[in-house]
Chains A and B, each alone.
Chain A
Amino acid sequence: MEADVLVVDDSAAIRKILQRVLRQTGMAINTIHEAGDGQEALEILKVMRPALVLTDINMPKMDGLQFLAAVKSSESWRDIPVVMITTEGGEAKVGEAVKLGAAGYVRKPFTADQIKEKLAGILEPSLPL
């Protein structure tokens, strides 16, 4: 069964790269939706349910940690795995993301293999790699 994925990053370049990387992983993906910040991502979640969310942290309007907190505090969205993909590699930020319920954390710069490896440990069999 194919599933949808949501990519959240204020950089169109990174969204494009993640689109390419996700297609290369061999995941059974239907549509990859894109949002430029946390607020836009929450609006998208109101009309679709992705099997996975990949999000940056440093973004305008609503950052990735605020977005993660909103997802994990919602009855309907808290089961969606959220993976942080960010330049913020300090222990404090990682710790905060873990505390809020992030399913994984990938530091930029990243390779396609690093993304694939991280997602392999997170995704359910319904969205196989």
Chain B
Amino acid sequence: MNLNDLIVSCISQASANVFTTMLGVDIRQGAVTIESGSPDPNDGVVSLIGLAGSWTGLGSLTCSPALACRICSQLLMAESTSVDEEVLDAVAELTNMIVGSVKTDLEQELGPLGLSIPTVVFGRNFKTRSAGHSEWIVVPFFWDDECLLVKLCLRRNERYSHAHVHTAPQTCTLDV
């Protein structure tokens, strides 16, 4: 399996698992695309989390304001009708769980990775760009007719691979 296929597989599993476990919802996956060059402008909510270590990159979740409210309502079991702090926090946490799970799965192949605190943007007609990364893997998911995009860009960190030597992970006795 090449790296792109592995990333898509990790995103598929993580997203389905997070939605089923935390929201009790089954989502349907759409066709995977690769986004390169200048990204399309966004409308709505975009949540971003950085990855760093032997590889660097960015994971993101993009959805409409209506879907962000729906996610928050389902997660917290309380009706949200407009994008407020609570809705942005819920989307950020959902992104944290999805990208965090992807990161954990990828670490088995790529070595240790660090995860940043999520950043959430809400607005109209804005672009997001990650310096040094030109290609994003885009995996769309559908909750009924509403679409959310999970994206990931990843690039080998040459400086890291020269400066660090991987060691075998330590075993521990804690039941996880």
State the A residues within 8 Å of B (CB).
10-14, 16-17, 20, 58-60, 86-92, 94-95, 97-99, 102, 104-111
Contacts and interface: CB of A to CB of B under 8 A. Distances in A.
B35 to A, nearest CB: 25
8 contacts: A13-B89, A58-B100, A88-B100, A88-B104, A90-B103, A91-B172, A107-B176, A110-B21
A89 B104 contact: yes
A104 B117 contact: no
A106 B77 CA distance: 22
Nearest to A121: B175
Nearest to A16: B76
Contact of B117 (A20, A60, A89): A60
A96 to B, nearest CB: 9
B97 A109 contact: yes
B96 A11 contact: yes
B174 interface: yes
Given A59-B117, A102-B174, A109-B18, A87 B76 contact: no
B21 A95 contact: no
A117 B93 CA distance: 23
B64 interface: no
